Amino acid sequence: MTLVQVSFFAGLFGALAWLVGDILLVGFAPVTEEDLARYQAGGLTNLRLALYMRSGADRRLRWGVWLAQFSIWLPLLSLYGLWQMAQPVRGLVWAGMLCLFIGFSLSPLAHGAFYVIAILGKAYCRDYAEAGKANEQLIEALNRANHLLNVTWLSALLVTCLGWALYGWAIVTDQTQWPTYFLLATPLVTTPIWLGLSHYIIRRWTPLFNGAALNLAWVSFYALALWLLT
């Protein structure tokens, strides 16, 4: 087994860890309109997200964060394989790899921000049920947590997508050792496919994969990369 294959195995195991982490943290049934009406409050920017994870046990939610937090080094190791498959490295690959490194590094904080909203959402619902009205301090805390999530999650997502776009362009312009058709296996292409499958098909049986489309794309990418290298 080569070091390139080892690095892609690291990426695959990391993607699986993040997939399980997403299942534990955000794998819940969608919020109903009845729930939105029951806990409605003025000034709350994202009530749907505040209610989304309220049914999750705290231990489950924590494990969802920890799995991602302590396994991010595995996807980072996979960058070695991507790097080696692009030798001799040119400017486009340099930029793409840098974006992927930054995007992967930003992801744990963005992932953990969901946990902050989850525990605040639980407190909001509990206080609402006891007092019969929304707690203004919890509304403010939820709004701040939602802002944190928006900044960290969107920045991690956009930088990572830019990295995959640049690396994908390098693939189709023969700047890597990958066959041109391997572009179709990159997460930028497969994430919308997994998003459609999880939203319209998989959720008929289970809500566990809600929000896990990007991680499913990671898993399929590393699995296909290893298959091509065998």
Q: How many CB atoms lie within 10 A of CB 133?
A: 9
Output the pLDDT for position 96.
95
Return the structure tokens found at 173: 């312009």
The whole domain housing 73 covers 3-229
Number of domains in the chain: 1
User: Measured between alpha carbons, how far is 19 from 75 in angstroms, rounded to an integer?
Assistant: 12
User: Measured between alpha carbons, how far is 217 from 68 in angstroms, rounded to an integer?
Assistant: 16
Output the pLDDT for position 128.
86
Mean pLDDT is lowest, of 4-8, 86-90, 101-105, 203-207, for: 203-207
Long-range contacts of 30-37 (CB under 8 A, 24+ apart): 30/207, 30/210
pLDDT above 90: residue 201: no
In the three-class reduction of DSSP (H, G, I as helix; E, B as strand; rest coil), residue 54 is classed as coil
Residue with tokens 């505040």: 50
Q: Which amino acid belongs to residue 179? A: P
Which residues have CB under 8 Å from 198's CB, separation 6+? 209, 210, 212, 213, 216
Nearest to 52 by CA among 22, 29, 19: 29
Q: What is the pLDDT of residues 15-32, one digit of tens each?
A: 999 999 999 999 888 888
Output the pLDDT for position 78.
97
Global pTM value: 0.91
Return the structure tokens found at 59: 């231990």
